[in-house]
Amino acid sequence: MSSFVGVLVSDPWLQSQFTQVELRGLKSKFVLLRNQMGKITVGELPPIMSKLKAINEMLNQEEITQILGESTSDMNDEVDFEAFLRAYLNLQARATGKQGGSKTSSTFLKATTTTLLHTISESEKASYVAHINSYLGDDPFMKKYLPIDPTTNGLFNLVKDGVLLCKLINVAVPGTIDERAINTKVILNPWERNENHTLCLNSAKAIGCTVVNIGTQDLIEARPHLVLGLISQIIKIQLLADLNLKKTPQLVELVDDNKDVEELMSLAPEKVLLRWMNFHLKKASYKKAITNFSSDVKDAEAYAYLLNVLAPEHCSPRTLDTKDPFERAKLVLDHAEKMKCKRYITPKDIVEGIPSLNLAFVAHIFHHRNGLSTESKKISFAEMMPEDVQASREERCFRLWINSLGISTYVNNVFEDLRNGWILLEVLDKISPGSVNWKQASKPPIKMPFRKVENCNQVVKIGKQLKFSLVNVAGNDIVQGNKKLILAFLWQLMRFNILQLLKNLRFHSKGKEMTDADILKWANTKVKSTGRTSKMESFRDKTLSNGIFFLELLSAVEPRVVNWNVVTKGESDEEKNLNATYIISVARKLGCSVFLLPEDVMEVNQKMILTLTASIMYWSLQQPVKSDSSSPKDATTPESSPAPSVDGENGSTLSDDVSNLSIDDSSSDSSPTSHVTNGDI
């Protein structure tokens, strides 16, 4: 088996300052520039460094030159890769200092991870450990490893085999991972560990986590700041899952009319939680509006008023009478304990305003006692809100796909968040670099309606240049929130991205345009090459609903990945669902980043079937030619199909011809079976 070691540097401290994703991105830049210039000197670094995102927002080229000059006497000295990294760290530290430092050591949902300040919050660690002990304590596999002691590194040691994180994802969004796909042997070989982490990261994307700067090697090494960052996102998704009208129709009490209901439906879950909190604070005659879970709750006054409204039977006058915020925070938590809501937070966390833990605390209170009306008239009004199930599923798929691309704006609701055109421009620039004229674009917040139309007009113009079908479509249609049009445009964006990625693998496509027919032909040829007779007539072929063809395709590209002992015949709906769930988890375990649901396979949703097939094809075409001698004997389990092939684990052997899969500061996973940032399909 070819083992994956990532990018290594000789200085362990220097190695520890970067994730593998960051190292690979910087290494790619360094090698490209060195190849172009022959060698790189200190004097040539300023224009290079000034283009890096972590630096250029705070330092100009002149300042960079001055800073670099402080650490060398000769600007003509040649720079090797480690010197390049040290210069980068030095400049980033200066940029961070100029900005005023990092506001918090780790955030609850953050698009990217920090590269310099890798400190972790012990309070957050203890809180997440308590959550894991509580929710996984009875799990048949995990219970022998729990409870974890928060004062030790037990959490990070347990994360290294990938099982814990997969289980935690299923707690947050039940059914996301088919547990038959998790490798749960007592001792896992490196390949099996990598499979678990690949499954974890692709499944985390599929529930809405942002993992652009995390690779499987980072999880195998259990890098504390990355592990806690991922766990915090998973827990947040679990805690905020019910903060919508579908799950909690009582939330309709927060609004007065239909227009407000539509606005409420478009809000991010944490915004709904803030609105709920302010709703009760207003009833309690609290004068200030709470806009965040940090500075606005530091004095614990808002918590005192909130708990007095929700549980007046446990109210104590001392809580509001005391002048000391820390003492008030202690009394608030005493009140919460009587409500059985004392979780995730300590008095110190409240007065320090740790946003992640304060949000978790408030969400926990909401789950246990939301104090909302059970008036049947209002609830029935919320339940009668029309829902297009198919549109809802497609919205979910496109939202997760957009968030996986690593753009700067996080999407909570496709139909609302895309209406000003900015996010669509970001996506277009990501999948077709250079297509957007940013000088003609307006960045949110956008107050003038015509600016939104201008953004959306540019979106439509670029779409037509990319040969999208946009007959009689204008930018204003997007501004008005035409759901059917927005979904159609997003599908064309996703399909374009798929075909471009496949085309970019020039050593297979020879640069020719890739079509749906090519994907169909590849899949059938691959399955036929294994001696099987299954065939896909089209992406709407109803025989695909039993899932057998896709399991045979997955087995064809990697024989050991499918455990045929757990595959059903796919005759009943229950058997079809079991196969469909297994297909999605096996594809993610292999390294495919897919966002479809089991229902999409069972109902043979043409669009989602195409994305699944193309994702498997994209992964397969990146693998080097397989050699029988490369297969480790210990990698095959009795349940697996024979003839394992593991050369595909080493993503670093991907042909150099894939040069236009660009690597930038937000490069995607460095994992052996991961995609580049734009590769999520």
Q: What is the pLDDT of residues 565-583, one digit of tens each?
A: 999 999 999 999 999 999 9
- 5: which residues sit within 8 A by CB, 6+ positions away? none
8 A C-beta contact, residue 405 and residue 678 = yes
- The reported pLDDT for the residue numbered 507 is 56
CA angle 652, 657, 658 (to 5 degrees): 65
Collect the ranges in the chain with pLDDT lower than 70. Answer: 1-6, 10-13, 16, 53-54, 57, 71-73, 96-119, 258-259, 374-388, 506-511, 625-681
Q: Which residues of 112-150 are buried (b: 16+ CB within 10 A; e: fewer)?
A: bbbbeebebbebbbbbbbebbbebbeebeebeeebebeb
3-state SS of 399-427?
HHHHHHCCCCCCCCCHHHHCCCCHHHHHH
End-to-end CA distance of the chain: 28
Determine if residue 300 is left, alpha or beta; phi over 0 gives left, psi from -120 to 50 gives alpha, anything else beta.
left
CATH 3.40.30.10 for domain 389-502, yes or no, is no
Distance separating alpha carbons of residues 678 and 662, to the nearest angstrom = 9
Q: What is the pTM of this model?
A: 0.77
Helix/strand/coil (H, E, C) string of 76-89? CCECCHHHHHHHHH
Look-up: residue for tokens 């699944």? 612
- The answer to whether 660 and 504 have CB atoms below 8 angstroms apart is yes
φ/ψ of residue 78, rounded to 5: -75, 145
* Cα–Cα distance, 536 to 543 (Å, whole number): 8
Output DSSP code: residue 356.
Answer: H
Tokens, residue 529: 């090459």
**CA 175/CA 454 separation, integer angstroms:** 42
Average pLDDT, the chain: 83
DSSP state of 176: S
Of 191, 216, 192, nearest to 203 by C-alpha is 216
What is the C-alpha separation between 128 and 488, in angstroms, rounded?
40
Burial tier of 76 (Cβ tally within 10 Å: 0-12, 13-18, 19+) = exposed
Whether the Cβ atoms of residue 201 and residue 195 lie closer than 8 Å to each other: no
280 pairs with which residues across the strands?
none
Cα–Cα dist 411/418, whole Å: 8
Q: Is 41 helix (H, G, I), strand (E, B) or coil?
A: strand
State which amino acid sits at residue 640: S
The answer for residues whose C-beta is within 8 angstroms of residue 480's C-beta and 6 or more apart is: 419
Architecture of domain 249-383: Orthogonal Bundle (1.10)
Orientation of helix 355-368 relative to helix 122-136, angle to 10° = 30
Q: What's the DSSP call for residue 249?
A: G
C-alpha to C-alpha distance for 244 and 248, rounded to whole angstroms: 6
**Side chain identity, residue 276:** W
Helices (H), 369-482: 376-383, 389-404, 414-417, 422-431, 449-465, 475-479
Which residue's entry shows tokens 């590209």? 557
CATH classification for the domain delimited by 514-679, as one of 3.40.50.2000, 3.30.70.260, 2.40.30.10, 1.10.418.10: 1.10.418.10
CA distances from 614 to 11, 430, 640 (A): 41, 19, 24
Distance (Å, whole) CA 641 – CA 644: 8
**Dist CA 502 CA 496 (whole Å):** 10
Amino acid at 486: I
Distance CA(609)–CA(607), nearest Å, equals: 5
Choose which CATH entry (2.40.10.10, 1.10.418.10, 3.40.50.150, 2.40.30.20) describes domain 122-239: 1.10.418.10
Question: What pLDDT is stored for residue 591 in this prediction?
Answer: 94
**C-alpha to C-alpha distance for 295 and 354, rounded to whole angstroms:** 9
Q: Are 408 and 426 in contact (CB under 8 A)?
A: yes
- To which residue do tokens 């001392």 refer? 318
Sign of the four-CA dihedral 616, 543, 179, 164: positive
Neighbours of 25 (CB within 10 A): 23
The helices-and-strands tally (H runs, E runs) of the chain is 32, 0
| Cβ atoms within 10 Å of 415's Cβ, excluding its own | 17
Residue 154 amino acid letter: G
